[in-house]
Amino acid sequence: AQTVTQSQPEMSVQEAETVTLSCTYDTSESDYYLFWYKQPPSRQMILVIRQEAYKQQNATENRFSVNFQKAAKSFSLKISDSQLGDAAMYFCAYKSDNSGYALNFGKGTSLLVTP
């Protein structure tokens, strides 16, 4: 089974600054998808950004971008111009393209944004 590791239980960033959340994963597959989900306190989980493993270009969604290093099995999330509303738990997730339908999640990183 694929495992996803988020080594930073908590991170803190000042408003308007940039922060990077780390994620590594373990897989023997070549085709898969990677995701970052955001879970605000007492609110439902929403998709922030996704990356297809076959694409070399890093995905970008407005202030959110990823650094996908396939050989290193690393998938970090960069949040630019941080806003108070970015405060949440962030989960990295892996989905196989060939076996199973489930998302495999990491344990999450709690992001605190300070004024």
Q: Which residues bind another protein (CB under 8 A)?
A: 4, 33, 37, 43-47, 50, 52, 91, 93, 100-108
CA–CA dist 81, 9 (Å, integer): 21
Cβ 91 to another protein shortest distance, Å? 5
Q: Which is nearer to another protein, 60 or 107 (CB)?
A: 107
Cβ 112 to another protein shortest distance, Å? 16
Q: Which is nearer to another protein, 93 or 113 (CB)?
A: 93
Q: Which is nearer to another protein, 14 or 60 (CB)?
A: 60
- Single out the residue of 7, 13, 34 nearest to residue 95, CA to CA: 34
Q: Which is nearer to another protein, 16 or 102 (CB)?
A: 102
**Bridge pairing between strands 3-5 and 88-96:** unpaired
Cβ 56 to another protein shortest distance, Å? 17
E strand segments, 1-115: 3-5, 10-14, 19-21, 24-26, 32-39, 46-52, 60-61, 64-69, 74-79, 88-96, 104-105, 109-114
Cβ 106 to another protein shortest distance, Å? 5
